[in-house]
A and B are shown apart, each in its own frame.
Chain A
Amino acid sequence: MVEGISTIPDEKRRACGNRKREMIRYARHLPIVCAVFAAAFGAPAGAVTQNASVNANVVKPLTLVAEQNLDLGTVTLPNGSWSGATVGISRAGVFTCSAKVICTGATTAASFNVTGTNRMNVLVSAPNVTLVNQNDNTQTLTLVVDSPTQVALPNSGNQGVAFNVGGSITLNSTTVSGIYKGTINVTVDYQ
């Protein structure tokens, strides 16, 4: 062998990248150790790979605010014996008065506003309400509520979306006079 000149074939030298001449001088006596770590970058032959998705829906807490009360106005009960007179207001705000009674005064459905995270569906729960005669708390009427089961949030945070809750009562000729009051309790939850 000649000093300073490598006897290693050119292909092998190129495969291992650039090396200084001094290194090659010593490497002449040894097999070139030049590991190409292909296996680390890809699965060995015969392996199968699949991917799985990971999802988490992270949302801000819901806030619910009552904005308007429900009011069925004034209902006058005529004399005589009768029953099954329904008076109510739908959540769309349509007031219906049974022909058996006389309805007067302004009527409104209840209104609520919910805020949360955009595009989320919110479940609405509003059970029926017991209205209690303010002069005689043994006298009650059941307000059957008309509430949406869910609302969709069209934005995130402050604006939110409003929804109404209506309700109806059924009267008969023995219903005791007085102002009947109750509380509509609405709960909202993310679906």
Chain B
Amino acid sequence: MTAVRIRGLGKRFGPVTALNGARLTAQAGEVHGVLGENGAGKTTLLSILAGLLPADEGEILLRGEPVSIGSPREARALGVGMVHQHFALVPEFSVLENLMLGWPGPLLSLPREEVRGKALALEKETGLDVALDAPVKTLGVGERQRAEIVKVLLQEPAILILDEPTAVLSPQEVEGFLRLVRTLADQGTAVLMVAHKLDEVLAVADRVTVLRRGATVLEAPREEVDAASLAQAMVGAREAGSVVHLREAAALQEERPPAEGDPVAELRRVVVVDGRGVTRLRDVSLEVRPGEIVGVAGVEGNGQRQLARVLAGEMAPTNGTVRLPPEPAFIPQDRRAEGLVEDFDLTENLALRLHRWPRFRRGPFLDWRTLEARTREALATFSIRAEGPHTRADTLSGGNQQRVVLARELEGEPEFLVAESPTRGLDVAGESYVHQVLRDLRDRADGPAGIVLISTDLDEILALADRFFVMVRGRLVPIHPGPDLRERMGAGMLGVE
């Protein structure tokens, strides 16, 4: 029986197209792997199915019936349950209280014993082991996930969505988890599982759907695919623009001798443990020399954010040594939240970094005249389309906003720059502009700069970088240039040996 059929699904977030005619068909009783690069639209697709987001176009059929799913509540009534990537558990509550939340029944009683009984039976049946009376905030991530799964399974969903469920698990936990997924499918549930790691998907899935740039590019039974063909489908060469980049990259790689000179930035055996006790960076060592772009590719959540923050001088490592130039230039990933103050005008946004520089102040006062003149120059230099230095930043398009960030960070000819997904959400023109700026900075005649480019976009790394790394589970793994670089990097970031 066809449990779910999705056709022609489209979804836009402002200027960004997240889904563009995606389709997916899954049968009851099968494990269905949903694959794709970051930003391919997997999570968006499944969020729509779970009632978390409205679709712009397309249709969803459950058991042959067309449905519209307006909220998580409606999704649940239709038998769709989702285990979120970021768990939807109230940290202050016990596991049992979380399980009772939203349990159907009278409002003036608490189905404590009923739910406890059902949960224990379910735990026995599936082998999921969760301490029901422990507050969620005291649990480790693996246990939290099991609690989340128990919560969703108690609703007896016909369609179970797992959004990157293994990302937070240890290898031992993953094995048990995959067995559980198999068991659930054998009991007749349609399991839709998003995963990055191809080996896990290949181990458990009956069918796979691969998304790329919001569209479905491959639908096949497990027997017809292997790691190579899936990786090819996921990261395979795309549209003309990136092919050009690739060619450029290939040409440049041949021409450029390895960078020499003293490193401008240096990490030695850096370890970062976050507030929850999760190790984000493991023994990361890196030297960046003037005149090179170090490319770091990786699937989101493998420690790149922490790497960027340490390199930008924003975050002190838990362990290891860091040597950086004073105030490194930094292009943060989220320009609206971290890169700009949207309520400020462009001069003020430039002043964010420049306001302490002697050139732009007179004693305790800011030299607005000089700042404004500098902004005016920057508008011209970086071809920023804005009325003037007093235009508010929130009235600019994403591409122009990013040019403002570039203008600010490149002020003073920095010898070291950290760029974190600098072209996210930009159109092709904006993307190639940013790339050109980075290249020019590296090749600057009067003192080339060292650049670390961190991106989830493999093409971007290939087009720009001189040396290549992937981040996997907090480790920085070097990838040697040469034939099949793309395939080897793709495999590396997906955790395939």
Q: Bound pair: A and B?
A: no
- B positions within 8 Å CB-CB of A: none
